[in-house]
Structure 1
Amino acid sequence: MLVVRPIKPQDYAALYRCAVESGHGFTSLPVDEDLLRRRIARAQEAFAREQVSEPGDEGYLFVMEETDTGEVVGCSAIEAAVGLSDAFYHYRLGTVTHHSKELDIYNALETLTLCNDYTGFSELCTLFLREPFRKNMNGRVLSRFRMLFMAEFRNRFSEVAIAEMRGVSDENGQSPFWGWLQQHFFSMDFTQADYLTGIGEKTFVAELMPQLPIYVKLLPPEAQAVIGQVHDNTRPALKMLQSEGFRCRGYVDIFDAGPTVEAEVSNIKSVRESKRLPIKIGDVAKEQSRFIVCNTQVANFRAAQARLELADDHVVLDAKTAAALQVQNGDNVRFVTLTGAN
């Protein structure tokens, strides 16, 4: 059975393997031992904080584990509030107009402006599922359970959540958009810049990135073509988030120009449609619908997909799932239908 739980120090080797397998452009999971160990320690601190009145610098990092073997098969995370300790950069797409009444010429031109507009927002990030386990809706569970966690612990997160989508890059990790920036402003390749950002070394962005708005039409065609586009491997994740109500509001990544999507947490479909009820442990028929279900604990949080039998004032959960979620008769769980978002 696959269960999502908070990461532990002994999961380091599995997290490192996920970082290696995630490939280029996965900024939030760099192949760096010190940073990965620090992320694990930081997550432990976040889960250990019993009383949190408002979002701060907490980073909640989870793993998906096969309980029968103990194998970690993926990871997923939520940042409570980005940009509080490190600058959080984006390009904002905008429009400027040039108009000559005398010549009867009017041009509306798209621009890219460096900004920190998402500072303080919560972020869904670090979603990676290993290839052999990309089936049986496991990826959907590994992404959407975070919305149940935010629904259950609303005071730990901001009013708006964002997610950065990986932009277009080739099999060697080279980004057409970065190629233009590298040629004119930087002397490093995309993978190096992406890695430095991933480990928190962002000073070079403020020092070298053009500070004035960039006219999109001045970029080479191959760079223009990928602005707001996602990597092929990221399309399923983007589609899922869009079905939850996330939309791009004109912000893109400063390196690969991948889109950032956002949604008010209260309007996220899985948050809005989730329910919280006590459980009764018993037999559940195989024809019952599947749900994403989690307990209501922080440090001992658990989530999984399971079949539930719904009643007005409780849900019936089988004994194996109850044990995996670490709940007993009368304990509350939060749940949402697994097939409610496509």
Structure 2
Amino acid sequence: MSAAAAACVRPIAPGDLDALLDLARGAGTGFTSLPPVRDVLQHKIERSLASFAAAVDAPGHERYMFVLDSGDGTIAGCCAIEAACGLDEPFYNYHVGLTVQASPALNVYKRLPTLYLSNDLTGSTVLCSLYLRRDARHSRHGTLLSKSRFLFMAAFPQRFADKVIAEMRGVSDAAGRSPFWEGLGRHFFSIEYGDAEHVVGQGNKAVIAELMPKHPIYTVLLPPEAQGVLGQVHPETAPALRFLEQERFRYQGYIDIFDGGPAVEAPLQAIRSVRRSHQATVVAGAPPHDGLPHLVANERLDGFRCALAELAPGTDAAALPETVAAALGVAPGARVRVCPL
């Protein structure tokens, strides 16, 4: 791309390995789906290439990975979609429920939050691996990167499950210490939280999960610091959570078994950007002066591109700036999918 090209989201390519490794190194502790290990990332790229190339009529083992090309040829961020989780090995979460202890004779009635090891989210589509370089967190890059996936899902709904979830990164400090791990997981493992996360990043989450206690856990038995982070997100993940909440994702009581971060979920067709997206035709002419920001994507599978543009609202005609049309690889007459922000 030239220096004047528009930023766009595209499928990851074989030549993106070094840039992806740099992103993974900057993500820090707790980013289990993007470990800074070259061989693991190479495998993720190869899996993504195979997923885009596959003929699919129902969600399976596919994992689609995307990068944000900032417009000058540099990779500023990444994100991914796992079509269906838990097909090869159990997909574990804790469900935060309630246990009631009551004794009328003693005038005792206690409602106790309780953690139940669960596979309830098996088969769901998972939004994952969202990371944007700190120096690129401007110009709506985060919005473009996060929400581009919804236009891809709207264009190819047969590739995804009816339920979509996102596991949000839980609380850890600057040293990589997780209060939830210290209060629970550490009692069953003789390794540091960062080492456990590294094992998970290698694709061995189920191995560790199966060593966790299978019986319900009363949260009142956890240290106060661990209780305080149940269902809470890492400060750097808070903007991503707000984006998803705007898209109608909701926390339904499921948390990560390692750091206690929340899983949020939404029906695919209820996601705001999926529901509001529609097809439009690219037309020649100058973009409107009073346009509103929209996501715009072509609807090619392996050549998918998504960018931002100012468009007239409520119209089926899309007059795109030349830089955006070039980034999307479209010309007048092409069909694109658009969604107002």
TM range (shorter): over 0.9
Deviating beyond 6 angstroms after TM superposition, the runs of 4 or more aligned structure 1 residues are none
Q: 1:253 aligns with which of 253, 256, 272?
A: 256
Deviations 1:24-80 (A, max 9, x none): 10111011111100000000011112x31110110000001123x311111011111
Partner in structure 1 of residue 12 of structure 2: 7
Alpha-carbon contact 2:98-2:113 (below 8 Å) kept: yes
Give the TM-score normalised by structure 2.
0.95
Q: Once structures 1 and 2 are overlaid, which stretch shifts more, 223-232 or 287-296?
A: 287-296
Q: CA deviation at 1:310?
A: 5.2
1:267 and 2:236 are equivalent in the alignment:
no
Q: 1:152 aligns with which of 155, 165, 171?
A: 155
> CA 1:318 to 1:183, structure 2 compared with 1: closer, same or farther past 3 Å?
closer
Partner in structure 1 of residue 29 of structure 2: 24
Instruction: State the identity %.
Output: 47
Amino acid in structure 2 at the alignment position of 1:57? H
Amino acid in structure 1 at the alignment position of 2:9? V
Superposed counterparts of 1:1-342, under 5 Å: 1-49=6-54, 51-67=55-71, 69-309=72-312, 312-338=315-341
Q: CA deviation at 1:206?
A: 4.0
Q: CA deviation at 1:231?
A: 0.7
Structure 2 CA distance for aligned equivalents of residues 2 and 295 of structure 1: 14
Amino acid in structure 2 at the alignment position of 1:61? M
> CA 1:253 to 1:181, structure 2 compared with 1: closer, same or farther past 3 Å?
same
> CA 1:177 to 1:284, structure 2 compared with 1: closer, same or farther past 3 Å?
same
**3-state SS of paired residue (2:154):** helix
**3-state SS of paired residue (1:261):** strand
Deviations 1:141-195 (A, max 9, x none): 1001111111111100001100111111000111001002244211111111111
Cα RMSD (Å):
1.3
Structure 2 CA distance for aligned equivalents of residues 203 and 235 of structure 1: 27
Deviations 1:181-235 (A, max 9, x none): 2442111111111111111113532442011010000001011000011111111
Structure 1 CA distance for aligned equivalents of residues 280 and 323 of structure 2: 18
Deviations 1:7-28 (A, max 9, x none): 0110000000000000010111
Amino acid in structure 2 at the alignment position of 1:287? D
Give the TM-score normalised by structure 1.
0.95
Alpha-carbon contact 1:282-1:319 (below 8 Å) kept: no
**3-state SS of paired residue (1:102):** helix
Alpha-carbon contact 1:162-1:261 (below 8 Å) kept: yes
Instruction: Mark the runs of 5 or more structure 2 residues left unpaired by the alignment.
Output: 1-5
Alpha-carbon contact 1:310-1:316 (below 8 Å) kept: no
Structure 2 CA distance for aligned equivalents of residues 318 and 280 of structure 1: 10
**3-state SS of paired residue (1:27):** coil
**3-state SS of paired residue (1:155):** helix
**3-state SS of paired residue (1:132):** helix
